[in-house]
Amino acid sequence: LGGSISRALQQMSNATIIDEKVLNECLNEITRALLQSDVQFKLVRDMQTNIKKIVNLDDLAAGHNKRKIIQQAIFNELCKMLDPGKPSFTPKKGKTSVVMFVGLQGSGKTTTCTKYAYYHQKKGWKPALVCADTFRAGAFDQLKQNATKAKIPFYGSYMESDPVKIAVEGVERFKQENCDLIIVDTSGRHKQEVALFEEMRQVSEATKPDLVIFVMDSSIGQAAFDQAQAFKQSVAVGAVIVTKMDGHAKGGGALSAVAATKSPVIFIGTGEHMDEFEVFDVKPFVSRLLGMGDWSGFMDKIHEVVPMDQQPELLQKLSEGNFTLRIMYEQFQNILKMGPIGQVFSMLPGFSAELMPKGREKESQAKIKRYMTMMDSMTNEELDSSNPKLMNESRIMRIARGSGRHVREVMEMFEEYKRLAKIWSKMKGLKIPKKGDMSAL
């Protein structure tokens, strides 16, 4: 997809005169590409109409960067399509919420339930998992295994075949135990079947969830709209999670799911492991959909704000792909100074959304300072190593003691490091475009 969109825009920027015809050809090409990326036909057509309203041909003719203007218009339009206009219900820590997961078999419900629980547990919540999947053999074992690994309480049964009964018992039990996030995993079927939707309706009616999350495999293709709509018609879907974003699929079906459920995407799954789970961030998602690469904005920023003499060193480090704790330390220093490189790093997808959420800059700064205090207690060997295995228990204890922080906090700092190292490693071997050649990305 990215290729054909870039190609379409390339053709357009090569054309000397941009007229209605050229713009139409370009839009048709993009339409085809979006369809291939599983965006629903109706949505693509709406977008096309809107783009035509927005893009002013007179402006385009006046020597502006046509490609950029059209790309920006498409980008904005897709971002808007992913915004249903109202946020989803957000559970509150310390207040009991019941969250029910629905989706077809294999979409990633059970995996995502655990990720969702684990994500909240790390933030100090008391989550619990209820297995109301009595359809698939082994469903309870899978949930039990996941839950045990994450040390999350769980409820289920090998004997009981009534999902409604189990769901109600589980929810009741965890309410009594004062859990603040009770997650109900449900069954799926291979196909959209009447029996499945009836079961979902009954489980929902009996457990009265505060939020129903529709879990969608990013690779389901054009089926996304009908599937999401079918679930929405039987239960009150209020949010979407898109899984398997680590695969090849670009996730165009997410636009359909948002349109069909009128609910926002809240998280994405990026792997089979418990911590491969990210808060949904619309801009990188759309960049990927358009094949622009998550890095285009980042690279723009580097050329824009990093002093020329500092660029080569930074880019060199980036292309080597080895992210050490020392690099993290230096970037933290930059962020605190809010020097130019600090600004750049605050653009990194991982840095901005997780480490430095908008509107909470003060807290983020305090956290970064805490991390730096801990890193001050590390040896040079530890700072310069990019081998995560080096940090064994005794080293972690020593760092905690040396910096007067909890072991838990030191571990949290390492988690942060590992997350950033993973993002950074994607830059490895990246060809750094020269200034003015950003479109190559």
End-to-end CA distance of the chain: 14
Q: Around 328, how many Cα atoms within 13 Å sit in the side-chain half-sphere?
A: 33
Contact between 349 and ligand GDP by CB under 6 A: the answer reads: no
* The one among 97, 107, 204, 234 contacting ligand GDP by CB under 6 A: 107
Binding-site partner at residue 403 among ligand GDP, Mg ion, none, CB < 5 to 8 Å by type: none
* The one among 66, 120, 232, 244 contacting ligand GDP by CB under 6 A: 244
Query: Cβ closer to Mg ion: 67 or 109?
Result: 109
Query: Cβ closer to ligand GDP: 270 or 331?
Result: 270
Query: Cβ closer to Mg ion: 104 or 341?
Result: 104
Residue 201's CB is within 10 A of a number of other CB atoms, namely 13
Q: Which tokens hold the place of 377?
A: 């207690």
Contact 243, 253 (CB under 8 A): no
Binding-site partner at residue 108 among ligand GDP, Mg ion, none, CB < 5 to 8 Å by type: ligand GDP
> What string marks each residue from 169 to 208 as x (binds ligand GDP by CB under 6 A) or -?
-------------------x--------------------
Contact between 106 and ligand GDP by CB under 6 A: the answer reads: yes
Chain centre to alpha carbon of residue 372: 27
Chain centre to alpha carbon of residue 91: 18
Residue 291's CB is within 10 A of a number of other CB atoms, namely 16
Q: How does DSSP assign 141-206, residue by residue? A: HHHHHHHHHTT--EE--SS---HHHHHHHHHHHHHHTT-SEEEEEE---SS--HHHHHHHHHHHHH
Contact between 19 and ligand GDP by CB under 6 A: the answer reads: no
Query: Cβ closer to ligand GDP: 134 or 331?
Result: 134
Q: Shortest distance, CB of residue 360 to Mg ion, whole angstroms?
A: 34
Q: In the complex, which residues of this chain contact Mg ion (CB under 5 A)?
A: 109-110
Residue, CB closest to Mg ion: 110
CA angle, 259 then 246 then 48, to 5°: 35
Q: Shortest distance, CB of residue 219 to ligand GDP, whole angstroms?
A: 10
Residue, CB closest to ligand GDP: 269
